[in-house]
Structure 1
Amino acid sequence: MSASGSLADQAVVHAYRHLYRQGLRTIRYATPGRHVLRSTLRTSFRSTPRDEFDPSRIANTLRFLERAADATGFEHKIVKNLLFARYWELPNIAKESRT
């Protein structure tokens, strides 16, 4: 593998870690939100080809998540509702309250 390939791989890993960490701060480490966040990020990073990696999109998303973590405003409600909707779509997360 070339040096530029490993740098690109390292950038993708760092992007994943930054998004996950900031996402956890945004949802304040709440369960099951953290499991939905992790599952969604994993799926996104595994299904998207490496050549479509765009650092500017990652930076924009991180800024959005930072604003969502700062106050319970519009951004926080968007993240909360997205994770809530995704929670009920995911079949592999245990849902104790489901009857």
Structure 2
Amino acid sequence: DKDGKAQTLEVDRLIVSVGRVPNTDNLGLDAVGLGVDQRGFIEVDDHCQTKVPGIWAIGDVVRGPMLAHKAEDEGVAVAERIVGQKPHIDFNTVPWVIYTFPEIA
């Protein structure tokens, strides 16, 4: 708890979901020259640009947390970069979430 005191929670089930992977299979990425890493993430630089000029990738298909608000930040940053601005995303400040039912926070 907030005071550092251990608590016990008795439950019927505990489900842990780890190891999500991007849904990039069968997209024909190799046909346009896009590469993926060992887990299937599209390879991009620090600005979400692929090695193919004019093609960018954001969200769940690139490395990093699979969170909608992270993808939104990436999309805005890519749009700003395309029009000549120099945006920056600090991934250390992207809030993490835990989805539970019922919601606990």
Question: Is TM more than 0.5 here?
Answer: no
**Higher helix content, 1 or 2:** 1
Higher relative contact order (CA 8 A, sep 6+): 1
When the two structures are superposed, what TM-score results if normalisation uses the length of structure 2?
A: 0.28
